[in-house]
Amino acid sequence: MSLLDAATQVRLNAWVPYSRFKVGAAIRATSGKVYVGCNVENVAYPEGTCAEAGAIAAMVAGGDTRIAEIWVIADSPEPVPCCGGCRQKIAEFADADVKVTLCTTDGKQKVMTVAEILPGVFTAAHMDRA
């Protein structure tokens, strides 16, 4: 199954009673394993958790810590960018040149690198003097 197919399939499981905006994400870890996540909302946190964060949590729970590739899909006129929190999480687990493919349900795609989605990323190297 392709990462696009995996993200498309898991998107249908999103729990979005407030926004009704379903997002799916699929990650291929450097081990080759595929992990998926979808967005989840709740009454106390209606903006919810993001699909990318869910896929990263599944990856870590599965024993992997490095991302080789990410695909994200949503029903939107244009490919939806990852939120700021997810961009930082992605940067924690992926090298700057890792591809992030943002997709719409009607076939539009935008391919970016981690460095492009999060320029000026904060890293552990910033704390070298601490």
Is 86 annotated to bind a ligand? Reply is yes
Q: List Cβ neighbours of 124 (8 Å cut-off, separation of 6 or more).
A: none
SS3 105: coil
Is 26 annotated to bind a ligand? Reply is no
Is 83 annotated to bind a ligand? Reply is yes
Is 40 annotated to bind a ligand? Reply is yes
SS3 77: coil
Is 35 annotated to bind a ligand? Reply is no
Is 82 annotated to bind a ligand? Reply is no
Residue 121 CB-density burial (10 A; 0-12 exposed, 13-18 middle, 19+ buried): middle
Q: Which residues are catalytic?
A: 52
- CB atoms under 10 Å from CB of 16, counted, come to 15
Is 38 annotated to bind a ligand? Reply is no
Residue 129: HSE in the Cβ half-sphere, 13 Å Cα cutoff: 1
Binding site for Zn(2+): residue ranges? 50, 83, 86
Binding site for substrate: residue ranges? 39-45
